[in-house]
Structure 1
Amino acid sequence: MFRFRIQKYVGLLSIIIAAAAGCKSPALTTATENRSTPASYGNNTQDTTNTSMLPWRSFFTDPNLIALIDTALKNNQELMITLQEVEIAKNEIRFKQQPLLPTVGVKGGIGVEKVGRYTSQGAGDATTEIKEGKEMPDPLGDFTIAAYANWEIDIWKKLRNAKKAAITRYLSTVEGRNFVLTNLIAEIANSYYELLALDNQLAIVRQNIELQKNALGIVKIQKEAARVTELAVQKFEAEVLKSQSLEYDLLQKIKETENRINFLLGRFPQPIVREQNNFIGLVPAAVSTGIPSQLLANRPDIKQAELELAAAKLDVKVARAEFFPSLGISAAVGFQAFNPTYLFRFPESLLYSLAGDLAGPLINRNAIKAEFNNATARQLQAMYNYERTIVNAYLEVSNQLSNISNLEKSYDLKSKQVEALTNSISISNDLFKNARADYLEVLLTQRDALESKLELIETKKQQLNAVVNIYRNLGGGWK
């Protein structure tokens, strides 16, 4: 540590110390991230039209769903927590700004001092001849009022880089908020479509229960006519009970899905307004994926990882600057006297000072090296996280594109299966009435028809969810 009055040698000495410290400081290494992406998603298209550019109000057309999303944007607690993280990051910028400016303050002090007789000062005062009336007060008072200023000169851009890192992290939290927003919207939409699917499955099960009860009535009549045995009656009754049990399972799932949506909306349980008819007629929206490189600009999580990497690079520069000396300037001006009546006598009570501090680590540098190594390691972590986020984004879009294509083909086949099994129910019932089919054939036909209808609705839900997911994966929803 070196302390001295500012003079013409300060500049020369700072250069000497900086050179000595710089010779022992580690080299600055900057991580170079891989930003490359494939040319396409495997479809060899270069069309840059991208569905993610659509605002969510334009992408979703169901007014009930839009109303739910609006409520969530106002009340969702996770989103509110994220907004506070943004506010914290904004305040961090102000905190990092302060060291760049001089610290100015005003201080006042009152003190008293009684020097011992057998001290160097006390002995000197005793042997000094002082004329009568000119004696020093004993004890000696001390009254001070002064303004002071301290300022660290940012020679190595340490403070400016720290401020830039804070600004970058603030921007990163904004992107984090956008990422929470797009996930929240997608989660509400997926839960809403799941709720519609459950409503329709419940309606189908109830219709099937009525069909099974009618079939049970026919079997009982045939038993009385000795055309079937009690075994057939018990089989049909068991099938009715199974469907009734399934009805309650679906009612529980509906309640849980409603509550999940209410939780996302930040409110206590209440009915979810929705249109329950014509779910099977819903047509998934057409999606344009654009090209993979657009993910870098559209996905909030990629932009967040990129900003975190930029901040980590600045942290390395800040950590390296700790190896170099810091220059500080301090100044003060005010009044000081041993008697308050003399305090504002000018120039006798005037005090002022101006000093420079130049401090740099010379021996104990292990802690600084450790922090520099940590900053370098965090920079590499941020680089790998950025690259991983890009790869993950591409894979998510690729998976959903394949999912949409396969679900479309599966839905067409299941639709034909439902149509065939629905027709077979009437045929099996007619054959059974005419004793040309066994009751087990009727049971199996009804069971297969029910399962196929439930699977068809499930596939429709998966189609709608796949479109929502690819909209989110492309980076849509937060605009």
Structure 2
Amino acid sequence: MGRNIAVTIISLTVLCSCSFIPKYKRPAMPVEKKFPDKGVYKNISFGNETNVSKIKWQDFIKDPKLKEVVKLALKNNRDLRLAILNVEQARALYGIKAAELYPSLYATSGIEKQRVPEDISFTKKAYTEKRYSVNFGLAEWEIDFFGKIRSFKKEALEEFLAAKENRRAAQIALITEVSRAYLRLCADIENLKIAEELLRTAEENFELVKSQYDAGVATEIDLNRARTEVESIKVDVVKLKQLINLDINTLNFLVGTHVDEKLLPKGLPEKNPFEEVKPGISSYVLLNRPDVMAAEHKLKASYARIGAARAAFFPSISLTSAIGTVSDELSNLFKGSARTWNLSLKGALPVFDPRIWAAYKLSKVQRKIVLTQYEKTIQNAFKEVMDRLTIKATIDEQIEAQKKLVRSLERTYELSLKRYKQGIDSYFSVLDAKRNLLQAKQALTNLIMSKYANRIALYAALGGGGD
């Protein structure tokens, strides 16, 4: 009998090949097939078609300190840890759905005792009835003739794959945010150096004006202006020190632990801390982004839900079987005469159940929603890349223009100070020139850091940094 049951199970498993999942076809890209290479973009070297997602972040980040900080973040950041745990959860759920395709075997044993009263006893005497049993068999197993369970398994698989891509997206976002926080810290440290240098100059100028005032050459207004400028720059210095500490707090939070002082930057990096990336002209590179891939897996999962909803219109068939022994005496339990078996095959066909139709309509609407989300994700990815390419195409020209402005303002400041010492101009022109120079130098620092930040942002927008 056991062999017959096994043959039956194998036969039914082989027969379960029907599926109502609609055939999946990747939707058309809802954006241009190529990135523009005209206008401001003509200065960009797109290079050959490159899968940026295959470039490891360890190779992309050149700054050794930043590389160590990112390693710490990948190890300690709680958001990334949650993303990893979500992958494990999705993997477990997929395992549960996959296991439902196969029968569950169980073994049981037991003893039952029951007192039969004399009123219903055949002998008209009360007695105690005993039964010993040992069984091995199948729990109720739904045979997946019409692919409902396999549809749920497919859905769970796609959800698991989407979770994996979301984990990769979380890692990319973390690397990007840590790099940006590090660059903000670099910029603020560099701006503090500029402010402290100008503070020293302002203090020297104040001593000069004070000596001239004491000699009766300078006016009290000039003296107060010189003192005001010193105090104003001191305020800027304190603000920058505050910003630096806030930057460090942000970096520690993103990393998930205290960042050692030796890993913190000392100012503006001498060169770009990131490798150059060339995306290629085709926008199909966006399909390698983890958020786009996760959205596509969600779309495939919605197809599987439709398959499950279609299968619900057809009969569900379940099998239960067991083989074992039963005896009223423990000593006779394993004798041949005590053998017993049972086999139960049940089917249920939904005749009238409005919920099935509603579920089917819901699954189709959900697919349309997920499709729209998928297209929106691609459009958002395209915009992100275009924004980064726009900055890439124009940032060098801005930096060069700002450098020329700084050189011009340095010369203006030198001339203003010289004219003041010669008694030609008031000290107001010196203060104005110095203030403009400070702002221009800080703007130059911020532009350079924006160039660096844009490179890591472009790398992330193209799907890099996930592994």
Q: Could you tell me whether the CA contact under 8 Å between 2:61 and 2:274 is conserved in 1? A: no
**From 291, 300, 317, the counterpart of 1:310:** 300
1:71 maps to what in 2?
72
2:3 maps to what in 1?
none
* CA shift digits 1:72-124 (9 cap, x unpaired): 22222221211111111111122112211111111122223345666xxx38x
Residue aligned with 1:333, SS: strand
Q: Could you tell me whether the CA contact under 8 Å between 2:63 and 2:274 is conserved in 1? A: no
* CA shift digits 1:455-476 (9 cap, x unpaired): 1101111111111101110111
The 2-side partners of 1:27 and 1:404 are apart by 45
1:240 maps to what in 2?
230
2:12 maps to what in 1?
none
* CA shift digits 1:245-291 (9 cap, x unpaired): 11111111111211222222221364252452553654875431213
**Structure 1 191/46 Cα, relative in aligned 2: closer, same or farther at 3 Å?**
closer
* CA shift digits 1:388-438 (9 cap, x unpaired): 111111111101111222322221111111101111111111100111111
Q: Could you tell me whether the CA contact under 8 Å between 1:284 and 1:463 is conserved in 2? A: no
Q: TM-score, normalised by structure 2?
A: 0.87
What's the offset of the Cα at 1:187?
Answer: 1.3
Unaligned residue ranges in structure 2 (runs of 5+)? 1-19, 39-45
The 1-side partners of 2:57 and 2:195 are apart by 34
Q: Could you tell me whether the CA contact under 8 Å between 2:316 and 2:349 is conserved in 1? A: yes
1:108 maps to what in 2?
109
2:187 maps to what in 1?
197
Residue aligned with 2:100, SS: helix
Q: Could you tell me whether the CA contact under 8 Å between 2:176 and 2:457 is conserved in 1? A: yes
The 1-side partners of 2:151 and 2:283 are apart by 30
**Structure-to-structure mapping, 1:120-269, within 5 angstroms:** 122=120, 125=122, 138-150=127-139, 151-268=141-258
Unaligned residue ranges in structure 1 (runs of 5+)? 1-25, 128-134
1:350 maps to what in 2?
339
The alignment-based identity, stated in percent, is 26
2:452 maps to what in 1?
464
What's the offset of the Cα at 1:219?
Answer: 1.4
Deviates most, 319-328 or 450-459: 319-328
Letter in 1 for 2:61: F
Q: TM-score, normalised by structure 1?
A: 0.85
Q: Could you tell me whether the CA contact under 8 Å between 2:187 and 2:267 is conserved in 1? A: no
The 2-side partners of 1:331 and 1:98 are apart by 18
1:299 maps to what in 2?
289
What's the offset of the Cα at 1:313?
Answer: 0.9
1:96 maps to what in 2?
97
Residue aligned with 1:335, SS: strand
2:441 maps to what in 1?
453
Q: Could you tell me whether the CA contact under 8 Å between 2:323 and 2:342 is conserved in 1? A: yes
The 2-side partners of 1:394 and 1:278 are apart by 31
**Structure-to-structure mapping, 1:323-334, within 5 angstroms:** 323-334=313-324
1:411 aligns with 2:399: yes
Structure with max Cα Rg:
1
What CA RMSD, in Å, does the superposition of the two structures yield over aligned residues?
Answer: 2.6
Deviates most, 395-404 or 71-80: 71-80
Letter in 2 for 1:66: K
**From 18, 24, 28, the counterpart of 1:34:** 28
The 1-side partners of 2:205 and 2:286 are apart by 60
What's the offset of the Cα at 1:51?
Answer: 4.7
Q: Could you tell me whether the CA contact under 8 Å between 1:305 and 1:386 is conserved in 2? A: yes
